[in-house]
């Protein structure tokens, strides 16, 4: 981190500890400084992802979809349909139509996730309203393909930053907990109704191009984040495995398994050093939080992340994502 920021954080926390009369505990104070530096670093990464996502999504909308009167799925698709029928500003529709889903995110996921999503959708509305993107092409196939690509890139980058810029994902996550449907199936059903409505109110041709846009966007999202509902299997090798285990249980609210292993990077044939390997399964949305907690404890921890198709039992689906902070 930049030395100027480090100095500012150090002085701010030192004043706080003096007020609390904790200045004598230097070890606790330095650990707190280290934790705050890690949190700020990860927050800056999240903001970068979110802003990049907003720029990409707004470019896909104004540079491709809007000039061709095309639509997409999700809340953005509903906003585009209403704009075509009423002429209301798209930026206003995007913000207000997403509000109910953001309220749902506040209660169903977490306050932090909801606040970051509100920020993302607000920035998207501003970008659509004020950034003068040029119309890139009038070819319908290119509009559907690349409009979907940039929109999907924007959604994927926002999710990597711990937020969403389309409320459909929140509804899908909520319903997947209440029903046997997966997140992907909920989104598919939701969008199917949008495409049928578009075919009836606008035209069948626009609805067909909307399906093409949707598939381009969804494949791009998959490429960026490997699927919003994907589970991640995480192996963590560290000398501080016990502290990491407690962080996963107490701060993440997830379960974990401990494997006994040996460090293999040794040219000698003697006794190799024993090590505890922490294994946990989390959702993609929790990955950023887990990395933050691990970095607070051991920045040199060796982390192996693998895709998990699905899980059964345990604490993943039964326990709501209230720990995404």
Q: pLDDT tens, 125-165?
A: 999 999 999 999 999 999 999 999 999 899 889 988 888 88
**Mean pLDDT, to the nearest integer, of 304-314?**
74
Structure-token pair, residue 171: 């509804």
- Whether the CB-CB separation of 249 and 255 falls below 8 Å is answered with yes
Cα–Cα separations (whole angstroms), residue 218 to 4, 136, 144, 173: 41, 21, 12, 16
Percentage of the chain with pLDDT > 90? 30
- Whether the CB-CB separation of 155 and 82 falls below 8 Å is answered with no
Q: Hey, what CATH topology would domain 231-308 get?
A: Alpha-Beta Plaits (3.30.70)
Domain range annotation of the chain: 44-225, 231-308
Q: pLDDT at position 322, please?
A: 40
Q: pLDDT tens, 28-77?
A: 767 777 777 788 888 888 899 999 999 999 999 999 998 988 888 889 89
Q: pLDDT at position 282, please?
A: 86
Average pLDDT along the chain: 82
Q: pLDDT at position 58, please?
A: 94
Report whether pLDDT(115) > 70.
Answer: yes
Which residues, in sequence order, are CB contacts of 93 under 8 Å at separation 6+?
78, 79, 82, 83
SS3 string of the chain? CCHHHHHHHHHHHHHHHHHCCCCCCHHHHHHHHHHHHHHHHHHHHHHHHHHHHHHHHHHHHHHHHCCCCCCCCHHHHHHHHHHHHHCCCHHHHHHHHHHHHHHHHHHHCCHHHHHHHHHHHHHHHHHHHHCCCCCCCCCHHHHHHHHHHHHHHHHHHHHHCCCCCCCHHHHHHHHHHHCCCCHHHHHHHHHHHHHHHHHHHCCHHHHHHHHHHHHHHHHHHHHHHCCCCCEEEEEEECCCHHHHHHHHHHCCCCCCEEEEEECCCCCCCCCCCEEEEEEEEEEHHHHHHHHHHHHHHCCCCEEEEEEECCCCCCCCCCCCCCCCC
Cα–Cα separations (whole angstroms), residue 166 to 153, 154, 155, 284: 13, 10, 7, 17
Q: pLDDT at position 235, please?
A: 93
Report whether pLDDT(219) > 90.
Answer: no
According to DSSP, the residues that pair with 275 across neighbouring strands are 261
Provide φ and ψ at 238, rounded to 5°. -155, 155
**Mean pLDDT, to the nearest integer, of 257-273?**
76
- The model's pTM is 0.67
Report whether pLDDT(229) > 70.
Answer: no
Q: pLDDT tens, 247-256?
A: 999 888 888 8
CA distance linking residue 273 with residue 184, whole number of Å: 44
Task: Give 323's pLDDT tier (boundaries 50, 70, 90).
Answer: very low
């Amino acid at each position: 981190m930049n030395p100027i920021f480090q100095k500012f954080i150090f002085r701010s926390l030192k004043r706080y500890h003096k007020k609390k009369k904790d200045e004598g505990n230097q070890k606790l104070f330095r650990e707190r400084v280290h934790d705050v530096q890690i949190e700020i670093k990860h927050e800056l990464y999240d903001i970068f992802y979110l802003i990049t996502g907003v720029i990409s999504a707004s470019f896909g909308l104004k540079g491709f979809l809007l000039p061709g009167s095309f639509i997409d799925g999700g809340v953005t698709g509903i906003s585009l349909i209403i704009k075509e029928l009423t002429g209301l500003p798209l930026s206003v529709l995007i913000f207000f139509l997403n509000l109910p889903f953001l309220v749902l995110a506040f209660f169903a996921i977490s306050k932090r996730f909801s606040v970051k999503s509100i920020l993302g959708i607000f920035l998207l509305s501003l970008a659509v309203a004020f950034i003068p993107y040029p119309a890139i092409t009038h070819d319908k196939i290119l509009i559907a393909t690349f409009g979907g690509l940039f929109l999907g890139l924007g959604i994927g980058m926002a999710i990597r930053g711990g937020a969403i810029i389309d409320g459909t994902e929140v509804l899908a996550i909520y319903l997947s907990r209440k029903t046997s449907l997966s997140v992907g199936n909920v989104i598919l059903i939701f969008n199917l109704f949008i495409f049928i409505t578009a075919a009836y109110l606008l035209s069948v041709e626009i609805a067909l191009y909307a399906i093409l846009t949707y598939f381009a966007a969804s494949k791009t999202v998959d490429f960026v984040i490997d699927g919003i509902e994907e589970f991640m299997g995480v192996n963590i090798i560290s000398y501080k495995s016990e502290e990491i285990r407690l962080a996963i249980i107490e701060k993440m609210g997830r379960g974990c398994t401990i494997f006994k292993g040996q460090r293999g990077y040794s040219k000698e044939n003697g006794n190799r050093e024993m090590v505890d390997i922490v294994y946990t399964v989390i959702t993609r949305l929790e990955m950023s939080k887990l990395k933050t907690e691990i970095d607070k404890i051991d920045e040199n921890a060796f982390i192996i992340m693998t895709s998990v198709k699905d899980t059964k039992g345990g604490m993943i689906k039964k326990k709501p994502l209230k720990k995404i902070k």
